[in-house]
Amino acid sequence: MENGRIKGVKYDFHSPPTSYLEGIISRGDRRLGQVILKAWQRGARFDGWGEYFKLDHYLLALEEARLDPEFYVSRRRGLDEVFPWDIIDTGVTSEFLKAERERAYQALPTLDCREEGCQDCGICSGLGVDLQVKGGC
């Protein structure tokens, strides 16, 4: 490592205030519609440009709506909670994702089905895909 760089490793990062707002909106619910409107009324414009982005527009709008940003960003969620993206069917079963979560906590890798055989994620049967994997699916 030299000058904080690791050869062959490239990293990128967002500004924390931007990531914080992304956390709120990506995990948010329909109540955030009024927050986005209020933030816009407070002057939120061109938020993708750092020189225009002001998290305070959103924090004040959340306060005005009596919503706690931590509820969206840092609350520990139950395994069976409905998420905003649950309407998107990727084919991967929630049982597989829950098992993956446990494997991650145990620092266990998940094998590549193309090399090691079907890991039963649900995609092939769920989306009608017939991957040619070792040992079949």
Tokens of 65: 């709506």
Q: Which stretch binds ligand SF4 (CB under 6 A): 20-28, 47-55, 74-82, 118-126?
A: 118-126
Determine, following the binding rule CB under 6 A, whether residue 119 of this chain makes contact with ligand SF4.
Answer: yes
Q: Is 99 in the site for ligand SF4 (CB under 6 A)?
A: no
Nearest distance from C-beta of residue 115 to ligand SF4, angstroms: 10
Candidates 118, 128, 134, 135; binder of ligand SF4 (CB under 6 A) is 118
Cβ neighbour number for residue 21 with a 10 Å cutoff: 22
Verify binding: residue 121, ligand SF4, rule CB under 6 A.
yes
State the nearest-atom distance from the C-beta of 107 to ligand SF4, in Å: 20
| Contact footprint for ligand SF4 (CB under 6 A) | 113, 118-124, 131, 133, 137
